[in-house]
């Protein structure tokens, strides 16, 4: 562990000593926290720091990966529904198709959110 005056580098946390306080409405706080979670950030502070410094590439990369994985899952569900149809399990096939549609809906929502991110900023 580094000690004061020993000349060793301090931890990243110790180098971050300046504080910025911003007041937001409760609904805005919930929105910021939800976006931070959705984009894979550990905290709202981490999310805001990267957004404010212009380095939001890690969140965008995570969103892109997630959209891609949802595509795989949707494809697998569609293939499974075809197999269920062929086996005569129509009710089960329909249920799986609904899950596939939900997956596609999540993809569209993430793509839309990623496309509109930052557009309201001045």
More confidently predicted of 25 and 65 = 25
What pLDDT is recorded for position 25? 94
Place of tokens 């004061």: 4
Residue ranges in the chain assigned as alpha helix (H): 12-15, 26-38, 44-52, 57-86, 90-116
Q: Say how many C-beta atoms besides its own lie within 10 A of residue 41's C-beta.
A: 21
Q: Domain coordinates of the chain in residue numbers?
A: 13-55, 56-117
How much is the pTM?
A: 0.47
Better-scored residue on pLDDT, 111 or 55: 111
């Amino acid at each position: 562990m580094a000690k004061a005056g020993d000349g060793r580098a301090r931890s990243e946390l110790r180098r971050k000593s300046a504080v910025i306080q911003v007041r937001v409405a409760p609904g805005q706080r919930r929105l910021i926290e939800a976006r931070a979670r959705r984009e894979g950030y550990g905290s709202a502070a981490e999310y805001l720091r990267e957004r404010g410094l212009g380095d939001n590439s890690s969140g965008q990369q995570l969103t892109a990966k997630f959209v891609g994985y949802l595509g795989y899952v949707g494809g697998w569900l569609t293939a499974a529904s075809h197999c269920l149809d062929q086996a005569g399990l129509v009710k089960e096939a329909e249920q799986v198709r609904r899950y596939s549609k939900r997956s596609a809906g999540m993809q569209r929502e993430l793509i839309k959110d990623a496309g509109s991110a930052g557009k309201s900023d001045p």
